[in-house]
Structure formats: C-alpha cells, structure tokens
Structure 1
C-alpha cells in the first residue's frame, strides 16, 4: 500500500519542558553537587532514535538530567569501557556519555557537559573530549537526584539494552524505570510488557531509545495509546502482530445472514469460543475468538432514504460490543452501504468505534451506484473512497489515543476494489483483505490466489468458511494447512 505522508510528531525539549530545569541549575548554585532530574509533564515523549549509540546517549542524558555535577565518559563500541562507566555512574548518580569517531563525537559530549553544568568528568578507556571541564574520578557514592520522586521519574523503553547500555545506565542513575523491547519487535504496541509498563506509569514522561524507533511516525500517539492500558486477549495492541482470529459473522436477530444472528450476545460469545478452540492446536500464533457484526444490511427495497441499506441503531449493536469486551474479544463492525457511501455510514457508528477493540469492515459487494440494486449486481468501491474512510478512522484513533485498529476490506473479485495499488496505509490501522469466495474449494482457492497476485505490500489476509454454501467447508485443520499464506482472520457465515 502507498504510505500516507505523516508529519513526524516529537515533543521538543523547550523552556516549558525539560530545559527549564537545566537553565536554572548551574555549577555555581547552592546545590551544584546534587544531580537534578529534568522536569517534564506526564505526556512528554522523547525519542532517542539517532543511528549511533553515542548520539542516543547524549539525547537520553538531556531528557533525564536537568543538571549533574559530572558525568562518566566512554567510547562508543568499547564494551569494557561502557561497563566500567555504567558502574561508576550508578554509584555517582550521573549520566554516561559516549564519544563517537571523529571530532563531532567528542564535541557533542563537551556540549552536554556544559549543559549539565558539570565540574568534572571521569574517562573510561580511550576517550578524547575537548572541554575545560576537569577530568577526574567520580566521587564514590554520590547523592541521588533530589527530584527522583515518582512524579518526575521517566519510563525508558529501550529497543536493545546491550546496544544502548550507556543509555540504560543513565536511566538507572536517574531513577527511571527501564523496560526492554522483545527481540525483533520495534513497535511498542506489539510488546505486551511495554504496554503494561507505560500504562502503570502513565503519569510519567517516556523516553524511547533505539534507532528502530525512527520508524514511528507518531510516538506521542503510540505512547498515549499504550498508557490507556487496553490489550488484546493474548497481549499487545497491534491487531495482526502475533494474533490470529476466528470470528462469527452475521446480523443481530437475522439468522439468514450468518451464524452470529442465530443467538443473543452472550450465547454468541460462547459459540465463538467453541468455534475458535480447535484452531489453537493448528496455529503457530495465538488464536482469539471474535465477532463480525453487520451494522448496515443491504436491502431489497430502497427504504425511506432510498439507499437500499438498513442501518441498525447503535443500541442494537451495543450488547454485542459489551459482551465481546467482557470476554476480551474484538468486534468488527461491518458496513453494506447500498447506494450510500462507506464514510457516511461509518460515522454513524463513531461512538462504538471510539472503543478499543472495535474495528471496521467495508463490504464493497454491496456498494452500489445510483442505478444498481442489491443481488442484481455486484458492487465496487474506489481506492479513493476507501482512503477517505481509512484517513477518518486513523484520525479518530490518533485523536482519541486509541490502540491500533483493524480495517477489513471484503473482496472476492479484483473489480470490487478499484485501483487497489492506490490504497493508503496509516500506522494507526492494520488493513486486511477478507476473501469471501464461496462454493467449491478449487474455485475458492483460485479466487484466493488471484487476489494475492500484485497485491500491495503490507496487507493481511482473511478467509471465510460458509456452513451451507461451501462444498465442502474446510475443517480447522484444512483451513490452516491448505490456505496459504495462513489467514490472520477466519470467519464463519
């Protein structure tokens, strides 16, 4: 998919934030020997995502210390020197700074020593710093920062604790809490322990440390969403990162439209659990039951508004959303707009979509032109209209501080989504194409394969099993072994 340009939103360290403390604490003050942690509001997010560890070490020092009597300096890449520096810094409660190759590496450390108001620095290993600050041993057992009370402590999220050992040492010297990302994971939303830590310390500032965090287009939203505390049943917030779903599909009170309509909300939860259960033995990813609830139903008559779509009231859907929420199940709100448009209908369910774990599905089969009627023609949607919806939904997620949502696009013909290459991606959304073909298995597989050809990168994929229309319907074992790539979402209708 084509990435939508997203401005990089980082919280600057300004006189209203961290540097306010630094400006008032110099080596000439009465408390010059006592380190002072930088003060920041709870929603402050600092990102140390430079390509080299030396620059990140300085950035972390700037974020966490408004002043310090000294610092311990080592050379980037010198593991022994960094280890010794970390021990000395822990005892003296001062930052660890790294010099990089070239003159600028030492210059950055010199500037940070000046900003800290430092009287001294201790060198470990082959270190060169052009500064007037005295080089000497750090005093043993220095005083902890005066402002190490919980209200001013930061949460420091580190991509790789070994690569950023200096930053970790600085964080510990400042009294911050350090949490490390799982190996190979670069999105905090996909790291359950990180989400938990940020939620537990949601009234404290956050520092993200690691080159991989450069890929976060909106770190503030990422942290804010984690602070909300919502996690999927198996942990984390990113819908299709390490998760697979088995869902019941249908409209409340309408059995003819799918199995979800054959029972009430609580019974639907129980049935979804039973349908999902056999998949757990077949899946290499954790399996969670889910619901896909048809909110707007394509109708055979025009209706009072002439759009050939019956829009169920929010009150009809709320019991299903609440029952699913209580059972840690996501709910997908499905739209069949008739002659209306997807965005207009999606906005009618904004109150539900503001809830975490409530996602959205668009069904282009039922998106009709002014001269089409449901069941007489197969509808379609332009990429431009899908992009309008995805942009609106991404903005809702970001503005409300919600965790990422799934956007499901139903499709069984290439013509159903026009100009698919023009679909835009948003960091707030995981987009899944749900292949809805029914009938004989060779035909279904042919549809599956055809839709994969030339598909934009970054899409996830879903498969539908029909109880009555498939000949035969695949078993859970067959669904997981014969459908490749293995679907992230399997629905039953």
Structure 2
C-alpha cells in the first residue's frame, strides 16, 4: 500500500498533537510519528446539522480538523460499534467517522490525509471496511496508542442536541473542543437558563452547533451569540414567553398624574413593583416578574418648540430606573407617545437605553396623531408599515449587540389604533410582540374589548391593564388571573 501521509509545516499548525500508530502484524510493528492538526473555525458560528449522524460526523470533522493521518471508522447502523468507535476515537485523539449510504466518508478520509483507518468490532479486513480506503492501512483501533504529548486544542464550544451524535462528540473532544450536551428535549439555546449560563461561561473562541434540530434555523448566529453572552432576562433564560408573566407599574418619573410609577422615588418604585408582582404569584402558573413601564415621551396639549405635541424625556432621567430595575431583577419597557412625529424618530432617541438587555419598547398609537390632530381631542392610530419600521430597527439593534430578545408592546383598545394589524411583521425572533389592551371602565365593557381585539388577531402575547381609579371595579390579582381569558402575559397598573 502506498502512503499518502501529508504533513504540514509546524509553523502552519493551528493546534497539534503527536500520535504513535502501531499496526497489528505477525512481526514487530513499525512505528511512525505523525502529526495531527485540529483547528478553530474562522466563522464565529458553524453548524453540523444535516439529517443523519453520519453526515454530521463528517461535518464536525471538516470544521474542527485540518489533518489527521488516522481516523476511526464504524458502520452507522450498529449502535454498539458506534459507541465503541466514539470511545476509541476520544482515547486515541482522532476523528471518528460513520459509514452510511449516501455519505462520502472516503472524501473526508482523503481530505484529512489519513493513511490508517482504525476499525472496531474485531474485523481488520480491508474488505470489511464499508468505504473505499484502498490506500489506507486497516488496523484495530484498540491497538493504537496515543502519545503522552499535549492534546489537540480547538478553541471551540460544541453544542450538541440529542443523543445520536456520539461520533461527532468524540471527534470534538479529540480536537480539544469544549462539548456542551443540551438537556433532553432542549433545542432552543436561549430557552433554558442553564444552557445560557453554560454558554456564557465558555471561553472558547468559536461555536459549533451539532444536531438536525438546527437545520435551517433562522437567525441562528444571533441566537448563538446572544446565548454566548450569558446575559439572562429577569426571571432566567433568554426567551420571554411562556417562561414568565409580567406585572408592571405604569407612569412617568416625577409625576403621579400619569400613573402609579411616578408616585414615589426610584427605590420605592422598584419595591412597589416587586410587591405588586408578588401578589400574583399564588394565582399564576408561571413565575411572575416585576416590570416598570416608563413613559419616555409624553403627549402634550401644546405643540412645544419642535411642534410635535410630545415632550421627550432625557434618556439619562430614565437611566436610574433602568439600573435599579436591573439590579432588582425587573424588566423595563419604554413607552412612546409621539404626537405628530413618528415612532421610529422617537425610538432612536433612546437607543442607549434599548441596548440594555432588560429594556423593551412600547408604542402607544392612541397618541400617534395626524398633522391636524391634537392629543385628547382625537384618538390616534398607526399603519402597520410604521410599526414594521420600528420593529425592524429594534430587531437589528438586538442582533447587532447580541442581546436577548426584547418585548415589543403595541397598545390598543380600539381596532383603528393598529390599522392593518394583520400586516404587522412578526417574523423577527429578536422581538416578542405583545398587544396591550388598555381600555378602562366597567368590567363588562373591558371584557368585551378584550374579546373583540382577540378576534382574528395574529399570534402574539397579550397584556391587560388595571386602572386604580377608572375601572368599575378594578379586578383583584386572583380575579385578573381567573376572569380574564386567555390569561394575560402582562398585567399593568395605572
């Protein structure tokens, strides 16, 4: 057999280890020192997500290995052989491949420069090897001994979904990569708090996700980089619903006229939010997280210097609330009442706050006025195109900063406030959209509005508002949880 051993110059090796190969023969074995090259992928996020374990084993090898004169090979349809191959590959420190119909294992053996194929299950016959390796020597994997030299070192976090990828996992561990098996049933990297914590703790440079569950996953790179940040939302993890329920205080800093949030200073506001949320926990089937909904721009009765009938608060005036809420494990939503200007123009003013992971955004179309309208004289409304412009900008901001998803709230108590609601874009996973039904008055009227706005609604989360003074009567926490159906994801107090 001709040797096809291809060694790279030492200076070109990204990571290397030495391996002693001993072939089992009737005469004393020849020993040759060969060099392995494991690498860290150039891309921040790579995938091995094809439909079969054999394909994913090849993909993992391609990502993490530049060369290896030895590979371990097993038939993909024999679980015992696969398990033994994985054990041997990890012990020896070389890639593990699986032979299966339609998978070009020979091409990967050739790419790696492998001159030795290590088999499991007792057969060393070249005819028994299920792929074309005519130029390679076939030996039992058990007869190969790793040297005592340092292991390969690929600075890669390998996240594995399911239990079918023993070969890929062994290939990753042989490369010196860090392997993170996902908990059973978990395929969303951002859902489970323990996964986010583990990914955030990793110091690896790159990330490889392994598993067919990741095939064609939209915005996977953002999902991975957000999870790698390790930043969790109040309540844990990085998915807003259905893992929590919010209970919020609504208002503007420094004034009680616009809601209960402004009736006390920052520390007392945070404490009041915590107490209000706690009153719901006994009736809630989810953890209840306190929230502050801060009115960042306040609709005004006069045009003001800029003529837009909206007073914009300085972001730095809101920052103490954001910081105190974050320290207390609370979420914040910035509420926009734009008057005669548009929502996107106002949202951009608060970009510095919206880059905080615990801050979302609310649009209040009641106060989105036409050029000839004035607050409190008419009830405004907004087209889906303007909502979509804001959501695209906000989702791009989340993506650019590798943030967890943000809550995107749309206030509505009559159909005209969200014109062409069916055209609102809900495709961006960086946002969780919630329609907040914030009408006031008698409970029969409020319930009728709640049902009417649910009719034909898109698939969104839902919010309910309790008014201390205007509701007749205001529901208790238990009543809110039992009499409002479906049960709200967010309950706000004003």
The question of a shared fold, defined as TM-score above 0.5 by the shorter chain, is answered with yes
Matched, 1:219 2:220: yes
Q: Which residue of structure 1 lines up, in the alignment, with residue 289 of structure 2?
A: 288
Once the two structures are TM-superposed, the CA of residue 203 in structure 1 deviates from its matched residue by 4.3
1:322-341 aligned at under 5 Å gives the runs 322-341=323-342
1:450-465 aligned at under 5 Å gives the runs 450-457=452-459, 459-465=460-466
Q: 1:23 to 1:476 in 2, by over 3 A?
A: closer
How many Å separate the matches in 2 of 1:21 and 1:44?
A: 20
Unaligned runs of 5+ in 1: 1-19
Q: Which residue of structure 2 lines up, in the alignment, with residue 96 of structure 1?
A: 96
Matched, 1:363 2:364: yes
Q: CA RMSD in A?
A: 2.5
Q: Which residue of structure 2 lines up, in the alignment, with residue 428 of structure 1?
A: 430
How many Å separate the matches in 1 of 2:62 and 2:75?
A: 18
Once the two structures are TM-superposed, the CA of residue 393 in structure 1 deviates from its matched residue by 0.7
Once the two structures are TM-superposed, the CA of residue 183 in structure 1 deviates from its matched residue by 3.6
Q: Which residue of structure 1 lines up, in the alignment, with residue 346 of structure 2?
A: 345
Q: Which residue of structure 1 lines up, in the alignment, with residue 78 of structure 2?
A: 78
The alignment partner of 2:34 has SS state of coil
The alignment partner of 1:97 has SS state of strand
Bigger shift: residues 83-92 or 167-176: 167-176
Q: 1:147 to 1:172 in 2, by over 3 A?
A: closer
Once the two structures are TM-superposed, the CA of residue 268 in structure 1 deviates from its matched residue by 0.8
How many Å separate the matches in 2 of 1:269 and 1:486?
A: 24
How many Å separate the matches in 2 of 1:306 and 1:97?
A: 69
How many Å separate the matches in 1 of 2:218 and 2:486?
A: 28
Q: 1:428 to 1:21 in 2, by over 3 A?
A: farther
Bigger shift: residues 311-320 or 49-58: 49-58
Once the two structures are TM-superposed, the CA of residue 146 in structure 1 deviates from its matched residue by 4.4
Given that 1:25 and 1:117 are in contact with CA atoms closer than 8 Å, whether structure 2 keeps it comes out as no
The alignment partner of 1:403 has SS state of coil
Given that 1:91 and 1:140 are in contact with CA atoms closer than 8 Å, whether structure 2 keeps it comes out as no
Q: 1:438 to 1:302 in 2, by over 3 A?
A: same
Once the two structures are TM-superposed, the CA of residue 198 in structure 1 deviates from its matched residue by 2.2
Once the two structures are TM-superposed, the CA of residue 267 in structure 1 deviates from its matched residue by 0.9
The TM-score with structure 1 as length reference comes to: 0.88
Q: Which residue of structure 2 lines up, in the alignment, with residue 137 of structure 1?
A: 140
Given that 1:180 and 1:194 are in contact with CA atoms closer than 8 Å, whether structure 2 keeps it comes out as no
Q: 1:404 to 1:371 in 2, by over 3 A?
A: same
How many Å separate the matches in 1 of 2:394 and 2:377?
A: 31
Q: Which residue of structure 2 lines up, in the alignment, with residue 8 of structure 1?
A: none
Given that 2:97 and 2:167 are in contact with CA atoms closer than 8 Å, whether structure 1 keeps it comes out as yes
Once the two structures are TM-superposed, the CA of residue 438 in structure 1 deviates from its matched residue by 1.6
The alignment partner of 1:480 has SS state of helix
Once the two structures are TM-superposed, the CA of residue 260 in structure 1 deviates from its matched residue by 0.5
Q: Which residue of structure 1 lines up, in the alignment, with residue 115 of structure 2?
A: 119
Given that 1:333 and 1:359 are in contact with CA atoms closer than 8 Å, whether structure 2 keeps it comes out as yes
Q: Which residue of structure 1 lines up, in the alignment, with residue 174 of structure 2?
A: 173
Q: Which residue of structure 2 lines up, in the alignment, with residue 9 of structure 1?
A: none
Once the two structures are TM-superposed, the CA of residue 66 in structure 1 deviates from its matched residue by 2.1
Once the two structures are TM-superposed, the CA of residue 422 in structure 1 deviates from its matched residue by 1.2
How many Å separate the matches in 2 of 1:143 and 1:430?
A: 52
Q: Which residue of structure 2 lines up, in the alignment, with residue 192 of structure 1?
A: 193
**Matched pairs, number:** 463
Q: Which residue of structure 2 lines up, in the alignment, with residue 4 of structure 1?
A: none
The alignment partner of 2:254 has SS state of coil
Matched, 1:354 2:374: no
Q: 1:145 to 1:48 in 2, by over 3 A?
A: farther
Once the two structures are TM-superposed, the CA of residue 22 in structure 1 deviates from its matched residue by 8.9
Q: 1:454 to 1:202 in 2, by over 3 A?
A: farther
Q: Which residue of structure 1 lines up, in the alignment, with residue 252 of structure 2?
A: 251
The TM-score with structure 2 as length reference comes to: 0.88
Answer 1 or 2: higher relative contact order, Cα 8 Å, separation at least 6. 1
Q: Which residue of structure 2 lines up, in the alignment, with residue 110 of structure 1?
A: 106
Given that 1:221 and 1:401 are in contact with CA atoms closer than 8 Å, whether structure 2 keeps it comes out as yes
Write out per-residue CA displacement over residues 129-166 of structure 1, whole angstroms, 9 at most, x where no aligned residue. Answer: 122233321244424784644xx432111121x12222
